[in-house]
Chains A and B, each alone.
Chain A
Amino acid sequence: MPTFIEGLSDEPRILAFCCMYCAYAAADAAGSMRLSYPVNVHVVLVPCSGRVDETFILQAFENGADGVYVAGCEEGSCHFVNGNFRAKKRVIALKKLFAEIGLEPERVEMFHISASQGGLFAKVARDMTERIRSLGIIGWNKRN
């Protein structure tokens, strides 16, 4: 679990699990394109979005995240055939679990971003930040 950047007291903390073949490469593309995206989005490189286990996401929330998203390849283009489909199913299962425990299911999301979509990478980061801002920082994460 990466340490969240301090000094963003009124900004939500968002963790993005990015697949190395697609979304992570898209983040690089965003950099080359000189696109900026919110600094409170923390990118975690994963070999495949299918590697992201439900427990990783739950632990992120336990350790201070206000929102988490998984970004994998576009459907049909996973390097490991169906890793992104697995990730998507897990995100859906987590949304159900969140509803059961009274946490907004929108705090967890799955996105598909291809390696060339630097612009989409930045947009997803901005959209997710907006979404979590409007949901608010989770009570126990409140920082003074």
Chain B
Amino acid sequence: MVVAERKPIQEIMAMVAEYNKILLVGCKGCVTVCCAGGTKEVGILASALRIARKKEGKPLEIVERTLERQCDPEYIEQASDVIEKDGVEAILSMACSVGPQYMAKRYNIPVYPALNTTFIGGALEHGVWAEFCQACGNCIIHYFGGICPVSRCSKSLFNGPCGGSAKGKCEISPEVDCAWQLIYDRMKDLGKLDELAKVFPVKDWSTSRDGGPRKVVREDMKL
């Protein structure tokens, strides 16, 4: 899933400083799961903003909503009643960065992102998430024992490990596993160490960010 975290309140306060009434809109997708932008986080941020603004003597009215998803136009539409009738001056979105872009595309009022979209990852334990994919556009993890060298090796090496690997940890921090140690151990378990002896050619990054904004088209799914 997409993992995100809330921007510092001061940064958000500055974004909405000039408004008297805003829509704070959460998303029930990934950001609910990573506890960054679901109904609960909308409630907490709304309260915090209201308290901070009361303190400044410039109360802020906040309409709270959480949409099914903010990355689908159908669901973006669910906010139209509030935006068109409730007189909100701006939208503060707690979705991953797709959400505020979709809100901005649909509604002609200023839109602000309340979150930083951090990475594509998974939960290690309750309350701890880690990066597992950088959406490079051409998955090659099967060559590496199912471990992604692009996102989990700090240098995105394809022929690792580098000279900094020590005791299974990456040289950037003793907290970070060396992805290449993980790859080695896994390939050894699979009895496929010889495959690592082959030199992996330079990766074709044209599917990554080289070709401009990417698009997926499924003719069979189009209406």
Say how far A108's CB is from chain B's closest CB, in angstroms.
12
A140 neighbours in B (Cβ, 8 Å)? 54-55
Q: Kindly state the separation between the CA atoms of A37 and B215 in the bound complex, as whole angstroms.
A: 66
Question: In the complex where A54-B44, A97-B9, A100-B9 touch, is A62 in contact with B50 (Cβ < 8 A)?
Answer: yes
Question: In the complex where A97-B9, A100-B8, A101-B9 touch, is A55 in contact with B47 (Cβ < 8 A)?
Answer: yes
**A62→B47 contact, CB < 8 A:** yes
**A97→B48 contact, CB < 8 A:** yes
**A100→B44 contact, CB < 8 A:** no
User: Is chain A's binding surface mostly helix, strand, loop or mixed?
Assistant: helix
A58 neighbours in B (Cβ, 8 Å)? 43-44, 47-48, 51
In the complex, what residue of chain B is closest to A99 when comparing beta carbons?
Answer: B9
> Number of residues in B with C-beta < 8 Å to the partner?
16
In the complex, what residue of chain A is closest to B49 when comparing beta carbons?
Answer: A101
A53 neighbours in B (Cβ, 8 Å)? 40
B residues bordering A, Cβ < 8 Å?
8-10, 13, 40, 43-44, 47-52, 54-55, 57
Contact of B55 among A54, A59, A97, A102 (CB under 8 A): A102
B57 neighbours in A (Cβ, 8 Å)? 139
Q: Kindly state the separation between the CA atoms of A132 and B21 in the bound complex, as whole angstroms.
A: 31
Interface membership of A103, Cβ < 8 A: yes
**Can you spell out 30 A-B residue pairs with CB atoms less than 8 angstroms apart?**
A53-B40, A54-B40, A54-B44, A55-B40, A55-B43, A55-B47, A58-B51, A59-B47, A61-B47, A62-B47, A62-B50, A97-B9, A97-B48, A100-B9, A100-B10, A100-B48, A101-B13, A101-B48, A101-B49, A101-B52, A102-B52, A102-B55, A103-B52, A103-B55, A138-B55, A139-B54, A139-B55, A139-B57, A140-B54, A140-B55
A residues bordering B, Cβ < 8 Å?
53-55, 58-59, 61-62, 97, 100-103, 138-140
Q: Kindly state the separation between the CA atoms of A143 and B10 in the bound complex, as whole angstroms.
A: 29
Say how far A100's CB is from chain B's closest CB, in angstroms.
4
**A101→B8 contact, CB < 8 A:** no
The 6 A-B residue pairs whose C-beta atoms are closest, nearest first, are A58-B47, A101-B52, A55-B43, A100-B9, A140-B54, A54-B44
In the complex, what residue of chain B is closest to A89 when comparing beta carbons?
Answer: B127
